[in-house]
Structure 1
């Protein structure tokens, strides 16, 4: 059972800072900036791929074996250490900005330490930095084997510009082989303890592994950097690198994938379960409650979130009904969903390049109005790019931030597995979410903000990051788009999609819903294709709680905007409000609400 000890620790740490006497900082206490810097070095070391993504090169040859026992014990030690360090500071001996950053760090350390301290069992993901969920290390989505493959092609965040870069990648892959070995060991332990994923998810993973086995060397994704050497390498250097990559792929990597594939197919798959949610695993209920806290930064429970989701689905359905009637469709809403899935006018593309061009045109239109809502805009650029072929069949659209120094632009990835069936009904809302003013704005501004300690520059609190992006979708009319009723309906559909997540995620993991029941609920309430819905439901099965963050965060930001508009009246300025939201990095919702409340009070005093 998850105990309240570490939650209590969090409360004590935070509020002891407020209640402590106004003492001068001890001369033996190091500047808080040094603690922040030390914490960031720790964060980079435990997730070196994220360090690479942020533009730091010192970890380019490393992958953390985040499911190993040594790694987990290291986290326990370091999170405890940093909480002890932060206990020496309070609101009186640091600046207001540093105090806010300190509290974000305290929240992060406390909730992660709670995960490490309690032997709860659920999925593992390097993205969420939860290493003690190690017995199911591989899934069909958001799994390290997919992330490594994305880096391997040479067009993502892993650099391939020099001999050192090429050698760094081989070093990183050596660590990856160790991770795969550990994964097999942990999955065997999981089998003994009854901690295994749903069989349907393992089945979806098998083709991903097989795609790296039955492929000619020249077509192997891991060989593509050799097919695309940068300028400036000598013939001798290229020959050596080519030989090294061929040897590694043929003698180490491919045999490891063969071994993994055989294990998954012959041993693991038969042991996987036929149930779908966390309730069917040891400590499943407690695990899910922890994940709710982690991903929403609230103390809401599954029942509360489920009811909120049902309420939001009902509200959005009414607005959808009104738009459907304005369009002139005579059938019911479900019939309208079906008509949108097959409407030829919404599938006008014959080449993938046309989809990319369409998104660039949306960008041009938004650029005309963006200054009316935002005083803060990022310096970094971004590109719209098609998702790589090896993963686009099961991928969602996504944004990958550019490097901190601006040398690599952000990338908005769009999956186009079948261009002739690509439906553009969501494209305007999707652009607002992933690019401008969604993820590209928020994440770029965050890492460009020199007033923040560096540990707050990378992507962090999902409830803030995704909540902002979903809020950004609602700004379309203010930005001069959603003129087409179908595109506005597409925005409602995307909001509905996130409201449905509150229902089905809690349904699967807290109320015993089957995969099929969740799929049917989605089909009944949104316009997504059945294929897309199945992929989404299976994503929620693999990553419990993560999908809750979008709507919970969006509702809080919208609530705070309404609160500010009502409290400030004529003093309210939307550009200032958005700056307040975006200029402190990604915050837990309790801290975001406190910040906006204080801003309202200060504005009213002027």
Structure 2
């Protein structure tokens, strides 16, 4: 049955025009429908919300997970308030469903659903949409589409770009009026990331990339027409819209951005920062608690780094060792190929260890690519996703090779790209479970994978082990720096000095990272807090299960859940330990060690 047919039938039934083909038996006047179970009520609630959300955000509710819509979402204030009212009502409905009556799986669904809705509501209540700085960063696809329908939908989105950009500019102007704007020092020069999208030379515009790299399965008879339509849409709609945005951001927005850096200096800033902590970590921790956790972790990791420094044969002080690592040419790639090849080498080593590490492996594969040049100057060292794992090759003297092993473990395998593939192929769960992402879970797992590399013999030299410790220190220092910047009155320079003094990150990376924390308060807290929970639970499992502990099943429990709030993750792991630490996929996984 086509979508149009289903829609017609739905309208027909809704207007009361349908008559049953067979007369239903008469019911007594006092009869009432049987009450729905808690599971059924919850499922009806999140299914309805998902369908509404997809339509509201410009996606196709009939095509789960597919980006085939022919328009971009509306982001104007009226639309935002409509979403706030809807999601607030859904939270109220969720409150009425007795949690103690839910089945174990639906209890997890309810916890995921609630945490996601609470974040949606908080963002709009604080009018976070009035600071959409950087919304353009990932709008241009980096590859072609698989079908003609996807290309036509993309052309529709290109044509809708002027309206969408105008609404974002209006939001940014509203934020300017009430002082809800980014810190000027952290966004200086970032107008350069808009310039490629505004390029009048269509062939050089990133929005044209899908047409320049059209796959061979697109019918020959369609190719020329699609390319011509795409070229026109970029030239007539997308490029002029971003030229308008570029002028506004460069000439008005950045020059008039705020001179403070703390999130707590924003309107209702203390409450806003606490809300961001809750959103990113899914934990109820205060800034003071997180700051103290960070200081303790920094002290612990510092001792590890001092020991590794001695293993490397260094006889000088710590500051001198950091300077040596940051300046000696042996630690830096000469070409982008060398850096990407190092990452591929590490990934290949990991593949050889997976059968001892994780039980259920995905079929989906990713590729390792360079970070797109339009965002590389301000991008982090790497990014992992379902299709590709990106390695940043911009400014090679700032990309030490000794950090490539932990970066690959984190972003590629068994980190984000691997994790995304398992989520794609996971159990037949509600769409909210397949698409919702919690930073504490996802980033916690990826950072835990960096540590797990020590058990997979990934780090081959003391310098690479120091690189891993540098990355762990980096995430621990974030707990101190983020709360320092946004709650304790730290200056940007104070944050830079702290991060530079505790890690072997390059000066470029340190500056980029601190500016990232200023621009996105709370996000940097998720990594270490999530990793600490997973490592703590692993230690408990090893102690309680003894010889019965198998890390493959421990990892399968975590990965099999998909992204969940950290309290949910902890509860489920506790239940797994109490149940004897059994293989969660006994019918699918063979014993690789037998």
Give TM-score, length-normalised by structure 1: 0.84
Deviation at 1:32, TM superposition (A): 4.4
Within-5 A mapping of 1:173-572: 173-213=158-198, 216-231=201-216, 237-347=222-332, 349-402=333-386, 410-419=387-396, 422-572=399-549
The answer to whether the aligner puts 1:134 opposite 2:129 as a matched pair is: yes
Deviation larger for 203-212 or 297-306: 203-212
**Closer/same/farther in 2, CA of residues 598 and 226 from structure 1, 3 Å limit:** closer
Inter-partner Cα distance in structure 1 for 2:554 and 2:317: 39
**Closer/same/farther in 2, CA of residues 47 and 352 from structure 1, 3 Å limit:** farther
Deviation at 1:350, TM superposition (A): 3.4
Question: Which of residues 51, 54, 59 is equivalent to 1:41?
Answer: 51
Deviation at 1:86, TM superposition (A): 6.5
Question: Which of residues 73, 90, 94 is equivalent to 1:81?
Answer: 90
Inter-partner Cα distance in structure 2 for 1:204 and 1:95: 52
Contact 2:314 2:321 in 1 (8 A): yes
**Closer/same/farther in 2, CA of residues 224 and 27 from structure 1, 3 Å limit:** closer
Partner of 2:3: none
Segments of 5+ residues of structure 1 without an aligned counterpart are 1-23, 121-131, 403-409
Segments of 5+ residues of structure 2 without an aligned counterpart are 1-32, 584-594
Deviation at 1:451, TM superposition (A): 4.6
Partner of 1:144: 135
Contact 1:470 1:550 in 2 (8 A): yes
Deviation at 1:449, TM superposition (A): 1.6
Deviation at 1:75, TM superposition (A): 3.8
Partner of 2:565: 588
**Closer/same/farther in 2, CA of residues 376 and 86 from structure 1, 3 Å limit:** farther
**Closer/same/farther in 2, CA of residues 199 and 253 from structure 1, 3 Å limit:** same
Partner of 2:29: none
Inter-partner Cα distance in structure 2 for 1:372 and 1:231: 39
Inter-partner Cα distance in structure 1 for 2:171 and 2:336: 41
Inter-partner Cα distance in structure 2 for 1:604 and 1:384: 35
Inter-partner Cα distance in structure 2 for 1:528 and 1:46: 42
Deviation at 1:113, TM superposition (A): 2.7
Within-5 A mapping of 1:154-173: 155=143, 159-173=144-158
Could you give the per-residue CA deviations for residues 554-605 of structure 1, whole angstroms, max 9, x where no partner exists? 1111111112222222332222211222211222111112112222222289
Deviation at 1:522, TM superposition (A): 1.0
Contact 1:519 1:533 in 2 (8 A): yes
Inter-partner Cα distance in structure 2 for 1:113 and 1:213: 33
Deviation at 1:506, TM superposition (A): 0.8
- Asked which structure has the greater CA Rg, the reply is 2
Contact 1:443 1:458 in 2 (8 A): no
Inter-partner Cα distance in structure 1 for 2:325 and 2:55: 47
**Closer/same/farther in 2, CA of residues 105 and 344 from structure 1, 3 Å limit:** same
Inter-partner Cα distance in structure 2 for 1:83 and 1:553: 29
Inter-partner Cα distance in structure 2 for 1:459 and 1:104: 8
Inter-partner Cα distance in structure 2 for 1:227 and 1:596: 47
Could you give the per-residue CA deviations for residues 489-541 of structure 1, whole angstroms, max 9, x where no partner exists? 11100001101111111111111211111111111111111111111111111
Contact 1:64 1:175 in 2 (8 A): no
Inter-partner Cα distance in structure 2 for 1:415 and 1:47: 31
Contact 1:67 1:137 in 2 (8 A): no
Inter-partner Cα distance in structure 1 for 2:565 and 2:425: 20
Deviation at 1:48, TM superposition (A): 5.3
Inter-partner Cα distance in structure 1 for 2:383 and 2:65: 16
Partner of 1:18: none
SS at match of 1:412: strand
SS at match of 2:435: coil
**Closer/same/farther in 2, CA of residues 100 and 161 from structure 1, 3 Å limit:** closer
Give TM-score, length-normalised by structure 2: 0.86
Deviation at 1:466, TM superposition (A): 0.3
Inter-partner Cα distance in structure 2 for 1:100 and 1:213: 44
SS at match of 1:384: strand
**Closer/same/farther in 2, CA of residues 312 and 222 from structure 1, 3 Å limit:** same
Inter-partner Cα distance in structure 2 for 1:79 and 1:335: 55
Inter-partner Cα distance in structure 2 for 1:446 and 1:73: 31
Deviation at 1:332, TM superposition (A): 1.4
Counting matched residue pairs gives: 550
SS at match of 2:563: coil
Partner of 1:7: none
**Closer/same/farther in 2, CA of residues 51 and 516 from structure 1, 3 Å limit:** farther
Could you give the per-residue CA deviations for residues 198-222 of structure 1, whole angstroms, max 9, x where no partner exists? 2223422211223334563322222
Deviation larger for 43-52 or 301-310: 43-52
Partner of 2:7: none
SS at match of 1:137: coil
**Closer/same/farther in 2, CA of residues 319 and 71 from structure 1, 3 Å limit:** same
SS at match of 2:194: helix
